Amino acid sequence: MPEDALALQAEQRILLLREQKVMLDFQLAELYAVETRALKQAVRRNASRFPVDFMFELTAEEIEHLVSQSVIPGLGKLGGATPMAFTEQGVAMLSSVLRGERAVQVNIAIMRAFVRLREMLATNAGLARKMEEIERKYDGQFRIVFDAIRQLMAPATQPAREMGFHTLPNTKPTRKPQKPRKKKP
């Protein structure tokens, strides 16, 4: 698999949990082309290499939230095991635990994905700083324009979609009542 495609796959799997950018164990196992069980086993055998700022296990609430957000397809995907979340440093440490050419290539791609994410965040912060400077310089003349740009820069927040049928109070039925049928004699 080309490195760019691997980096893109890694980028798409980075999540924000506990205010940290992380990747989940089963997603990493998929990238490394190993079983999740084998990855977890290697980590547990080398537990001293994975302090809490490198790797942590998810709580029941975090698991429930990820399942409800469709990050995890379902609890069955986990096979009864608690998922592990690896920070950037934890992913780097995985290279010392998982050996092989594939592990090296995946690690390089993941590190590039984390770096690219950091660069995008820094660019956005730099852009916000420049906008504040320009706004101060031109005072209130362009406040509406700056507010609109800020709204475009803000991360999109989509309200949770409600499921089910909704009825409005005091509304008329949408179907016309049927005429009674004549009975045949």
Average pLDDT over residues 115-127: 75
Q: Is the dihedral of CA 156, 160, 164, 170 positive or negative?
A: negative
Average pLDDT over residues 117-141: 69
CA–CA separation, 37 vs 42, rounded Å? 9
Asked if pLDDT for residue 62 goes beyond 70, the answer is yes
Asked if pLDDT for residue 134 goes beyond 70, the answer is no
Q: What is the reported pLDDT for 32?
A: 84
Q: What is the reported pLDDT for 137?
A: 66
Asked if pLDDT for residue 104 goes beyond 80, the answer is no
Domain locations in the chain as residue ranges: 3-115, 121-153
Strand partners, 16: 21
Counting Cβ atoms within 10 Å, is residue 111 exposed (0-12), middle (13-18) or buried (19+)?
middle
Asked if pLDDT for residue 147 goes beyond 80, the answer is no
Q: Rg of the Cα trace of the chain?
A: 25
CATH of 3-115, one of 1.20.144, 3.10.260, 3.40.50, 2.40.128: 3.10.260
Averaging pLDDT over each range in 4-8, 66-70, 174-178, which range is the top one?
A: 66-70
Confidence band for 14, pLDDT divided at 50, 70 and 90: confident
Confidence band for 175, pLDDT divided at 50, 70 and 90: low
8: tokens are 């893109």
Residue with tokens 């039925």: 173
